């Protein structure tokens, strides 16, 4: 079971095209100015099974975005869901996190989830760097990262400029 705050079906703000965005409960970052502070509570939202989530994703037939909260708050459970989305539905997955790439890649417990993600938007939201003109990011410090290329090359592949 996963703690889900919300599912946005057919959204265009959490990555390119129409997407199914899954908002997970639980976030340790508590960024000042967060647009979703109710996501900080790890007990928020409601419990949903993988089967329920996979059914909604299949019904919508869109790529998927993990957001929150922070999907890396419960990396094992989210990695398992992501693996099934990739294996069974062959969908593109974007993921938003308050962690920086450099932190994630150093933590072995985060690797299984990273391996299922196509694009990562990393770094905490910084209110002083807020910019409403940015595509798919809330503050200028956040980066858009090609995860498979980064893992293959052993260095972060920043594709932020592709989304200006």
What is the pLDDT, as a whole number, of residue 144? 98
Mean pLDDT of 21-28: 96
pTM exceeds 0.85 for this model: yes
Residue 37's CATH number: 3.20.20.70
Size (the chain), residues: 164
pLDDT in tens, 101-134: 999 999 999 999 999 999 999 999 999 999 999 9
What is the extent of the structural domain holding 151? Answer: 2-163
Q: Yes or no: say if 19 and 11 are a contact pair by the CB < 8 Å rule.
A: yes
Check residue 38 and give its pLDDT: 87
Q: Check whether 33 has a pLDDT greater than 90.
A: no
Locate the DSSP E strands across 30-139: 46-48, 64-68, 93-96, 119-122
| C-alpha dist (Å) from residue 157 to 68, 73, 102, 116 | 23, 23, 12, 16
- The Cα 136–Cα 144 span in angstroms is 8
pLDDT by residue (tens digit) across 45-73? 999 999 999 999 999 999 999 999 999 99
**pLDDT one-digit tens code per residue, 135-146:** 999 999 999 999
Domain count, the chain: 1
Q: Model confidence at 34, in pLDDT bands (50, 70, 90)?
A: confident
Q: In 4-134, where does DSSP find H-type helix?
A: 50-60, 75-84, 101-106, 111-114
């Amino acid at each position: 079971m996963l703690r889900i705050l919300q599912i946005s079906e057919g959204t265009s703000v959490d990555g390119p095209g129409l997407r199914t965005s899954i908002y997970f409960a639980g976030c340790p970052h508590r960024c000042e100015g967060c647009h979703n502070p109710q996501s900080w509570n790890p007990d928020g939202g409601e419990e949903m099974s993988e089967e329920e989530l996979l059914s909604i994703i299949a019904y919508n037939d869109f790529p998927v975005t993990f957001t929150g909260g922070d999907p890396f708050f419960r990396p094992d459970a989210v990695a398992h869901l992501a693996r099934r989305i990739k294996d069974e539905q062959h969908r593109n997955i974007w993921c938003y996190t308050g962690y920086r790439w450099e932190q994630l890649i150093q933590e072995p417990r985060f690797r299984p989830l990273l391996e299922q993600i196509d694009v990562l938007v990393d770094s905490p939201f910084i209110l002083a760097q807020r910019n409403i003109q940015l595509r798919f990011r809330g503050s200028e410090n956040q980066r858009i990262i090609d995860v498979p290329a980064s893992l293959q090359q052993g260095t972060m592949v920043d594709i932020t400029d592709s989304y200006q």
